[in-house]
Chains A and B, each alone.
Chain A
Amino acid sequence: MELLAFGDTGWGDELFYATLMTIAVSITAMFIGFLFALIFTPLKLSKNKFLNFIANSYTTIIRGVPELLVIYLFFFGGTGAVMYVASIFGYNEYIEINAFITGAFAIGIISGAYSTEVFRGAIQSIDKGQFEAANVLGLNNFGKFFKIILPQTLRLAIPNLSNVWQITLKDTSLISVTGLVEIMRQSYIAAGSTRDPLLFYSFAAVLYLLLTFVSMKLINRLEVKYSRGY
Chain B
Amino acid sequence: MDLELMINSFPKLLNAAVITLKLLSVSLIIGLFIGLFFAILRLNKNIFINRFAYGYSYVFRGTPLLVQIFIIYFGLGQIEYLRSTVLWIILKEPYWCAIIAFALNTGAYTSEILRSAFQTIKPGIIEAGKSLGISNKVIFYKIQIPIAIRQSLPAYGNEIILMMKGTSLASTVTIMDLTGVAKYIISTTFKPIEVFIVAGGIYLFMTFIIHNVIKFLEKKYSFN
Interface residues of A (CB under 8 A from B): 60-61, 63-69, 72-73, 76-77, 80, 166, 170-171, 173-174, 176-177, 184, 187-188, 191, 195-198, 201-202, 204-205, 208-209, 212-213
Closest to A77 in B: B192
Provide a sorted-by-A list of 30 A–B residue pairs whose CB atoms are within 8 angstroms.
A64-B161, A65-B203, A66-B165, A66-B167, A66-B179, A68-B168, A69-B182, A69-B196, A72-B183, A73-B196, A76-B187, A77-B196, A80-B190, A80-B192, A170-B64, A173-B67, A174-B66, A184-B67, A184-B70, A197-B70, A197-B71, A197-B77, A201-B67, A205-B59, A205-B67, A208-B64, A208-B67, A212-B62, A212-B63, A213-B62
- Say yes or no: A173-B64 contact (C-beta < 8 A), given A64-B203, A68-B171: yes
Residues on the B chain within 8 Å of A69, using CB:
168, 179, 182, 196, 199-200, 203
Number of interface residues of B (CB under 8 A): 41
**Residue of B at shortest CB range from A66?**
B168
- Evaluate whether A197 and B66 lie within 8 angstroms (CB atoms) in the complex, with A66-B203, A68-B169, A69-B182 already known: no
B78 contacts A197, C-beta separation under 8 Å: yes
Find out whether the CB atom of A202 lies under 8 angstroms from the CB atom of B75. yes
**Residue of chain B at shortest CB distance from A191:** B74
Q: Interface majority SS on A: helix, strand, loop or mixed?
A: helix
Question: Known: A204-B67, A205-B71. Is A76-B190 also a contact (CB below 8 A)?
Answer: yes
Expressed in whole angstroms, the minimum distance between the Cβ of A132 and any Cβ of chain B is 32
Bound form: Cα–Cα A173–B64 in Å: 7
Report whether over half of chain B's contact residues are helix, strand or loop; otherwise say mixed.
helix
Q: How far is the CA of A76 from the CA of B194 in the complex (A)?
A: 12
Docked CA distance A73–B183 (Å): 9
| Given A76-B187, A77-B192, 19 additional A-B pairs, CB 8 A | A64-B204, A66-B164, A66-B166, A66-B203, A69-B168, A69-B200, A72-B196, A76-B186, A76-B192, A80-B190, A170-B64, A170-B65, A173-B67, A184-B67, A196-B78, A197-B75, A198-B78, A201-B67, A204-B67
User: Which residues between 173 and 187 of chain B lie within 8 Å of chain A, taking CB atoms?
Assistant: 179, 182-183, 186-187
Q: How far is the CA of A102 from the CA of B197 in the complex (A)?
A: 19
| Interface contact B62-A73, CB-CB below 8 Å | no
- Per the bound structure, the CA–CA distance linking A8 and B141 in Å amounts to 59
Which of B63, B167, B179, B187: most chain A CB closer than 10 A? B63
Q: Find chain B residues with CB under 8 A from A60 CB.
A: 204
